[in-house]
Amino acid sequence: MSLKTKLKNNQLTLGSWITIGHPAIVDIMASAGFEWLVVDMEHTSIDLTMAHNLISTIQANGMKALVRVSKNEEVIIKRILDMGADGIVVPMIKSKPDALEAIDYAKYPPIGKRGVGLFRAQKYGLGFEDYKKWVNDELVIIAQIEHIDAVKNIEEIIATDGIDGIIIGPYDLSGSMGFPGKYHRSDVKQAIEHVLEICKENSFPSGFHVIESDPGKLQERISQGCTFLAYSLDFFFLGDSARNGMKSIRDGVK
């Protein structure tokens, strides 16, 4: 079953986040059984060439390749999609007009306004007709909800035809409320719960980026009804494992 279909059916799907720009990271993460990986181009040094390599490696490992683009902007979105990404995560979607912009940049006329290029996604000119159909049937567009304005406008965002799901970014959401990183505050938690409740009422797939590598934190979001879940990220898996291992070693030595 495709990721698009799972989102449409509001079925649980699990992925993670790539911030370290090396294909070996993807190969290692693939062994965990993720269904998709998001290449982060917003907050990392990953450039277009490395994104191209990572997209290919993710797909070669049987996973869907999503890219969090640097911003909701025409050129970066069409270049990433022309590279063959299965979908995009678009940061800072605050309103319906923002959501419509993302759709315009990702989809060809008459639905959107995306310019036509012939690159990897279109099989270098040999598969454009097939790709046009694929864009309409399978391309995934995820709106990142990470600002208090998005919380206020969540009903109109999820009602926008062409948005396949949302994912909450807790760090920036707390920052937009004046408390960056304090996403355990009661008012930030209330904002998150409001988004999840509206999605639940409308049977719309809600997502969350669970930063911690603790699987219990992921289970909490599943119990809240989230179905599009990003479980931690590459450097937390690496760092937490190393730190926890060394702590156990040192405690044992004592």
- At residue 253, the pLDDT reads 74
- At residue 254, the pLDDT reads 62
* Size of the chain in residues: 254
CATH code, domain with 16: 3.20.20.60
User: 216, 214, 218: which is closest to 229 by C-alpha?
Assistant: 218
Total number of domains in the chain: 1
pLDDT band for position 252 (cuts 50, 70, 90): confident
- At residue 186, the pLDDT reads 95
Tell me how far apart the alpha carbons of residues 252 and 247 are, in angstroms, rounded to a whole number.
8
Note down the domain range covering 120: 3-253
pLDDT at 143 > cutoff 70: yes
Q: Over the stretch 182-205, which tens digit does the pLDDT of each residue have?
A: 988 999 999 999 999 999 999 999
Q: Over the stretch 218-250, which tens digit does the pLDDT of each residue have?
A: 999 999 999 999 999 999 999 999 999 999 999
User: 123, 121, 103: which is closest to 112 by C-alpha?
Assistant: 103
Element (H, E) at 158: helix 154-158
Q: Is 43 known to be catalytic?
A: yes
Mean pLDDT, rounded, for 28-52: 97
| Distances in whole angstroms, Cα of residue 253 to Cα of each of 100, 210, 244, 245 | 59, 33, 14, 12
Q: Over the stretch 113-131, which tens digit does the pLDDT of each residue have?
A: 999 999 999 999 999 999 9
Tell me how far apart the alpha carbons of residues 173 and 150 are, in angstroms, rounded to a whole number.
9
Summary mean pLDDT of the chain: 97
Q: Which of 22, 43, 52, 194 is catalytic?
A: 43
